[in-house]
Amino acid sequence: MAFTQIEDYGVIGNLETCPLIGNDGSIDWCCFPHIESSSVFAGILDDDGGGHFAIQPSGEFESAQEYVTRTNVLRTTFETDSGTMTLTDFMPVVDGVELGHTTSAIYRKVTCTEGTIELDATFEPRFDYDRVGTTVEQTSEGVIARGNGEQLYLWSPADFESSEGEEEHAEATETLRADETMWFVLQYNDREPIDAADCAALLRETIDYWQDWTHQCLDASGCPFEGPYHDDVIRSGLVLRLLMNPQTHAIAAAPTTSLPEEVGGVRNWDYRYAWIRDVSYTIQALNELGHEREARNGFDWCLTMCHKDDPGEIGHPLYGLHYPPEMVEEELDHFSGYRHSKPVRIGNAAGDQQQLDTYGELITAIYTATDYGEEIFAGEWEVIEEVIDHVSGVWTNKDKGIWEVRSEPKHVVHSKALCWAALDRGIKIAEDNDFDAPIDRWKGERDTIRETVLEEGFDEELGCFTQTFEGETVDAAALRLGSVGLLPFDDDRMQSTIDAVMDHLMTDEGLVMRYEGDDGLPGEEGAFVLCSYWLVECLALSGRVEEAHDVFESATEHLSPIGLFAEEIDPETGEHRGNFPQAFSHIGLINAVLYLNQAEPGETLDPIGRGATEITTDSKS
């Protein structure tokens, strides 16, 4: 079994977990029952022992994937010399799923649409990241696999034969003729009776669910995403929905772990957690897409974060999708890694880092939600006020920053700017709602932060805001000083920062790297998709519309064939790198289209829903 390119995977899900299916028909990543659970298939991380469940033609074939329109139902079409076969993969999602009533099952429908097809089905599960023994045995209706106190029940009319030994698995070879269909249903820790009619009905219900949920463009004033990238926005919204937990309302950064930022490198991280900044960015995107309920869920999750006993904990950037989190980071030495990129990690030590920007992301998210109509009640304000007041006392500290470097903490410019944003939005919430708060003191701290950032964070020689007060590093995160409103976009320093990012961090292909310089880790990484969309946002809001469109098109042309994005793009090969699909990347695309559609050449605009206090400035203030 050879490794499949990251961009050649599709993703399905039931709002609890997200299997990845290659364009060769193989499920190479699946965790049950949740995204953050241990894997039952991990072939994407070890092509020999990770486990997979493949359905594909027996001989040579060509294949292509697509989604059923406006759904997360995946269709793979195989062309062979003898005929054509369509594989339809989905997990049931029906009304009531928001209450947690899901079915942990993968449905796979195989149809011969032309000629004759001989297909092979290979079922090779490996429980708990292949750290425990797995047994596979035949039943009268299919196959049962057991291990780690769990079981997978594969129902199918196909004639499976199990193979015992060190690598237990089951195989079947079947022949289908034109218009013949065969179902394969994989149930986790369940064994409900199934027939083909039930399968077909669930497929129809699942398609209806997704098509009813997705963005409808019903606003009489016109769709804010109207234009050539409308379908890409729709797909990005569907990706975000897959990553939203229906019980806790947390949003997973990605459904995978350890897909490398560099093939053969060590920058391999577990992203099956909820980052505060992901939720912050998502609230605006969801509201503009018309998904008010999901945006409200994000708002509720932010309020939950504020209710932590110790506001200092909020400086930790990531949390478990189901409380409490498991932050212990460990390495799976027995896995070879994607394309032999080791180590394979589960858990994420960044959960213990101090990242001060998370305070700004949290309070900005809450303020943005109120801009879209959410209300903050007096009891909620008490805990929000405590968080804001905490910021006024810790913003002078060093931290790890948004990029979670594994070197010593520093005075990170982006972190200081987001602390400014926390106080700024906190002042506005208090004033808008007539809440009691030490507003005069907060205003003093807010102004001090701004003065410090302008004095210590801008490098005259480079002509831009830098990564830290200590160094001369160009960092794409400095673009967000304009996005959060610390400076208006027509300020000379913001314009020169935009130019510096384009000069120092943009590749020949028009993609944007995160930053220059050493970050304490060996190896390199790809261009960071979200950074390209940050640049689009800044150019659009600056009235530099033609440049914004150029950068947007350079980034968006790297979408996978079915409209998905990993975290990064290899600037030399164009291949996807990092975990996949990545919430950050898809949020960036949605918001970039939003700003592009509002931009006017030569006219500076304010970010939507980011309501910073209006600043009067000149080039020296």
Q: What is the pLDDT of residues 96-146, one digit of tens each?
A: 555 444 569 999 999 999 999 999 999 999 999 999 999 999 998 899 999
Q: Which two tokens stand for residue 490?
A: 């027509």
Looking at the fold, whether 253 and 138 belong to one and the same domain comes out as no
Based on the domain organization, do 267 and 192 belong to the same domain? Answer: no
| pLDDT value for 100 | 46
Domain of 564, in residue numbers: 230-598
Domain assignment present for residue 605? The answer is no
Mean pLDDT, all residues of the chain:
92
Cβ(136)–Cβ(125) below 8 Å: yes
Q: 177 and 236 in one domain?
A: no
Q: Is 108 part of any domain?
A: yes
Whether residues 201 and 285 share a domain: the answer is: no
- 208 with 238, same domain: the answer is no
Whether residues 252 and 196 share a domain: the answer is: no
Residue 610 has pLDDT above 80, yes or no: no
Arithmetic mean of pLDDT, 350-376: 92
Assigned domain for 610 exists? no
| Cα 207 to Cα 201: distance, rounded to the nearest angstrom | 10
Q: Are residues 328 and 468 in the same domain?
A: yes
Confidence of residue 520 (pLDDT cuts 50, 70, 90): confident
Asked whether the predicted pLDDT for residue 611 surpasses 60, the reply is no
In this structure, the dihedral spanned by the alpha carbons of residues 565, 570, 571 and 574, taken in order and rounded to 10 degrees, is: -60
**Confidence band for 318, pLDDT divided at 50, 70 and 90:** confident
Which of 230-257 are b and which e, b meaning 16 or more Cβ less than 10 Å from the residue's Cβ? eebbbbbbbbbbbbbbbebbbbbbbbbb
Residue 241: per-residue pLDDT: 96
**How many other C-beta atoms can be found within 10 angstroms of the C-beta atom of residue 508?**
8
Question: Is the residue at 616 inside a domain?
Answer: no
Dist CA 270 CA 129 (whole Å): 13
> Before 571, cis peptide (omega within 30)?
no
Position 481 in a domain:
yes
Q: Is 617 part of any domain?
A: no
Domain count, the chain: 2
The model's pLDDT over 468-489, given as tens digits with 9 standing for 90+, comes to 998 779 999 999 999 999 999 9
User: Using 50, 70 and 90 to split pLDDT, how confident is the model at 619?
Assistant: very low
Evaluate whether residue 620 is within a structural domain.
no
E strand map for 132-252: 135-138, 142-147, 150-155, 161-163, 169-177, 181-188
Q: What sign does the CA torsion over 28, 560, 298, 430 have?
A: positive
Same domain for 461 and 416, yes or no, is: yes
Q: Is 509 domain-assigned?
A: yes
- Any idea what the CATH number is for the domain that residue 161 is in? 2.70.98.50
Residue 349 has a pLDDT of: 85
Per residue in 56-100, pLDDT (tens digit) is 999 999 999 999 999 999 999 999 999 999 999 999 987 655 544
Do 320 and 194 share a structural domain? no
Q: Which of 213, 245, 272 is the last residue of a domain?
A: 213
Q: Which of 42-46, 219-223, 562-566 bottoms out in mean pLDDT, i.e. has the lowest? A: 219-223
If asked whether residues 202 and 241 sit together in one domain, one would say no
522 plus 403 within the same structural domain: yes
* pLDDT at site 294: 93
Give the model confidence (pLDDT) of 149-198 as tens digits: 999 999 999 999 988 666 799 999 999 999 999 999 999 998 888 899 99
Q: Where residue 525 sits, what CATH number does that domain have?
A: 1.50.10.10
- Residue 308's region, left for phi above 0, alpha for psi from -120 to 50, else beta, is beta
Give pLDDT, residue 618. Answer: 41
In angstroms, rounded to a whole number, what is the distance separating the alpha carbons of residues 610 and 192? 49
Report how far residue 103's alpha carbon sits from residue 93's, in angstroms, rounded to the nearest whole number. 8
Shared-domain flag, residues 81 and 12:
yes
**Residue-level pLDDT at 414:** 97
Determine if residue 571 is left, alpha or beta; phi over 0 gives left, psi from -120 to 50 gives alpha, anything else beta.
Answer: alpha
Report which of 347, 403, 421 is spatially closest to residue 520, judged by C-alpha positions. 403
